[in-house]
Structure 1
Amino acid sequence: MPKVSVIIPAYNAEKTIRETIETVRQQTFPDWEIIIINDGSKDKTLEIVASIEDERIKVFSYENSGLSMARNRGISKANGEYIALLDADDLWTPDKLELQLLAFNNNPQAGVAYSWTYFMDVDEQGKVTSLHPSNPYAFAGNVYENLLISDFIHSGSNTLILKQAIDTVGEFDPTLKSCEDWDYWLRLATRWHFVVVPKHQIYYRRSPNSMSSKVEIMKAAALMSIDKAYQAAPPNLQHLKSLTMTNFHKYCASLYLQHRPDFDGINQAQQHLRSAISIQPQTLLDKVTQKLILKLLLQRVFPKQVSQYLMQKIRQPAASNSGLKL
């Protein structure tokens, strides 16, 4: 039986699936299986997967049912002691599994290991246009309160989860069309300790077309997740909701500024920033808020191409230090 089951849901992933599979095959820890859930793909996803000769890869095909259901199906097929989730367009550093398993060995009470993330923006041709690292969060142990405030794990491609921990919290919520990861991490955090690998090991790919069409969906799902989270939160943590809502509005402003830089999107970003500042005026002292205000002003003052160029220059230094080679 493999130590780790890597679950890759795939829907029309022909442009990225080979590279994503290779990022697993290049892991320094070799005792794994890949379970690919073909979620009703209509392109060449299956052909590409079939062309990769590796007996550790298993493929199961279903009608399209969405990301949460695909993950649930993958978990049901998994044989590993640990479950690693990986979206079909994301990447890992070669030492991702090795270091997360080491973190488990050093923290036997933990049920979830996570690392830091690179946000990798790509153009329509798949070329990397910008790469910037997530904040170096070091929350460990009981992280429920930290997660309630914001999803510092950032993507479903990040965590390595003890199968025993998954068995205690059940499946991903298929009614959520976005933010299903955050909902799941919160449920795990109510029962299990988390451990962090202090290294950027996940490359989270964001393409302009896919993101721009999902902004409204992501915003609505985030609100649903917040309501669900605070319905389950104990009374002594209800006061944190104002901070969560501040982070929600900053999150929405960021989505609009980056993926909807049209007149309506800029107006939406401005409204969300105003809401964040109204709820918590001290957020003006936060560097994230200050950067969002700067981006908003750039898009208000300069033509679209100029503002996008300037924002890319602001983010550019991270890419040169990442070691990413594509």
Structure 2
Amino acid sequence: MTTVSVVIPTVGRSSLSGAVDSALQQSFSVCEVIVVADTADELGLAANARIKVLRCGPGAGAQRARQIGIRDAVGDVIALLDDDDLWHPYKIEAQMLLLEASGPSTTIVSCACVVRRPDGHEKILPRVAIEPRQDIAEYLYTYSLHRSGLGNGVVQTSTLLFPAQLALDVPLDERADAVHDESTWLLAVRSKYPRTRIEQLNDPFVIYRVTPNSLSNNGKNDVSRYLDWGQEHLHDASPRVRGDYYLTSPVAAAASAGSTLGIRQAIRVGSNRGSPGIWAVLYAVAKLLTVSVRAVRQR
């Protein structure tokens, strides 16, 4: 029988116990839950024979913690879960059925997720699922109008399930300051194994909790790292994909930090290196106006 190891990187958030419990309570029983602590603090987890705690860091970063867990895993399949997210009890069962039907050695399985914000607002993403052989950069970074609204594709970390050997052959980017964790790895896998399928269930089997202290929501002006990422990973993408990327992802990072300078820089780079679509242009202009008005009001 195929076995599944769950890998959870953590910085010791109070939400960790809930994430671990949601993994242990799966209808398809996982063989182990590997918690990789990127902290020296005690985790306060209840004793359980299926829980294994490893340590790295502090300050090693989530991707290095995940890769340490993957290397130590005994399961045939890896399922990633962040310490502030939750799984529906049938998440692994549904994904394993799809994995085994699609060809387990060449398939990565994802699903939709419920994005839950601190104010209680929720939405389901992605708006449109990725096709199994669709170009990954095109799916993730083309900013378009869909029936359910504006946006691009989403493959969220806690939705991912894949053969363990895949992440040993193509390791995660372990740099602590890396951005776009999921995208970087998916692009690297597809580059090495072009026939890799990405199957995405429409069911929202994951609750992705956006927390004020989330590392992806830290308020730092990281725009230069996002611009560098685009230059490194999207140089072969279409002009539309490059343009849309620069006018959305780096712009969002700059807007989160309240940097009109960063937004202008991203718009300039996107216009020079790509050919952004109208919806990406409108997104960037709206962010620039919003941040500019906020800055005026705060004077």
Asked whether the two chains share a fold, i.e. TM above 0.5, the reply is yes
Change in CA separation of 1:80 and 1:214 when aligned onto 2, cut-off 3 Å: farther
CA distance in 2 between counterparts of 1:174 and 1:280 reads 27
Is the 1:119–1:205 contact (alpha carbons within 8 Å) kept by the matching residues of 2?
yes
Change in CA separation of 1:293 and 1:204 when aligned onto 2, cut-off 3 Å: farther
Question: What is the aligned partner in structure 2 of residue 150 from structure 1?
Answer: 140
Change in CA separation of 1:209 and 1:53 when aligned onto 2, cut-off 3 Å: closer
SS at match of 2:131: coil
Question: What is the aligned partner in structure 1 of residue 169 from structure 2?
Answer: 168
CA distance in 1 between counterparts of 2:290 and 2:57 reads 44
CA distance in 2 between counterparts of 1:22 and 1:289 reads 43
Cα offsets for 1:104-158 (capped at 9, x unmatched): 1221164200112333222xxxxx4432222333223323x23366363443222
Question: What is the aligned partner in structure 1 of residue 147 from structure 2?
Answer: none
Point out where structure 1 has 5 or more consecutive residues left out of the alignment: 123-127, 232-237, 306-326
CA distance in 2 between counterparts of 1:279 and 1:227 reads 9
CA distance in 2 between counterparts of 1:168 and 1:245 reads 31
CA distance in 1 between counterparts of 2:234 and 2:289 reads 34
Q: Out of 114, 121, 146, which is 2:117 matched to?
A: 121
CA distance in 2 between counterparts of 1:303 and 1:229 reads 33
Aligned residue type for 2:97: L
What is the aligned length? 280
How far has the Cα of 1:33 moved from its partner?
Answer: 1.2
Q: Out of 59, 62, 66, which is 2:61 matched to?
A: 66
Question: What is the aligned partner in structure 1 of residue 128 from structure 2?
Answer: 137
Change in CA separation of 1:96 and 1:74 when aligned onto 2, cut-off 3 Å: same
Whether 2:108 is the aligned partner of 1:112: answer yes
SS at match of 2:48: coil
Is the 1:276–1:283 contact (alpha carbons within 8 Å) kept by the matching residues of 2?
no
Question: What is the aligned partner in structure 1 of residue 233 from structure 2?
Answer: 229
Question: What is the aligned partner in structure 2 of residue 254 from structure 1?
Answer: 252
Is the 1:142–1:189 contact (alpha carbons within 8 Å) kept by the matching residues of 2?
no
SS at match of 1:220: helix
Identity of aligned residues (%): 20
Question: What is the aligned partner in structure 1 of residue 148 from structure 2?
Answer: none
Question: What is the aligned partner in structure 2 of residue 54 from structure 1?
Answer: 48
Q: Out of 82, 90, 114, which is 1:95 matched to?
A: 90
Change in CA separation of 1:8 and 1:112 when aligned onto 2, cut-off 3 Å: same
CA distance in 1 between counterparts of 2:63 and 2:157 reads 10
Whether 2:195 is the aligned partner of 1:204: answer no
Alpha-carbon RMSD across the aligned residues, in angstroms, is: 3.2
SS at match of 1:24: helix
Is the 2:242–2:270 contact (alpha carbons within 8 Å) kept by the matching residues of 1?
no
Aligned residue type for 1:213: N
Change in CA separation of 1:72 and 1:298 when aligned onto 2, cut-off 3 Å: closer
Change in CA separation of 1:158 and 1:215 when aligned onto 2, cut-off 3 Å: farther
How far has the Cα of 1:198 moved from its partner?
Answer: 1.4
How far has the Cα of 1:184 moved from its partner?
Answer: 0.8
How far has the Cα of 1:74 moved from its partner?
Answer: 0.2
Question: What is the aligned partner in structure 1 of residue 145 from structure 2?
Answer: none
For structure 1, which segment, 60-69 or 273-282, has the greater mean C-alpha deviation from structure 2 after superposition? 273-282
Aligned residue type for 1:12: G
Whether 2:189 is the aligned partner of 1:188: answer yes
SS at match of 1:157: helix
Change in CA separation of 1:29 and 1:275 when aligned onto 2, cut-off 3 Å: same
How far has the Cα of 1:37 moved from its partner?
Answer: 0.8
How far has the Cα of 1:216 moved from its partner?
Answer: 2.6
CA distance in 1 between counterparts of 2:69 and 2:213 reads 27
CA distance in 2 between counterparts of 1:60 and 1:26 reads 21
Question: What is the aligned partner in structure 2 of residue 324 from structure 1?
Answer: none
Question: What is the aligned partner in structure 1 of residue 146 from structure 2?
Answer: none
How far has the Cα of 1:11 moved from its partner?
Answer: 1.4
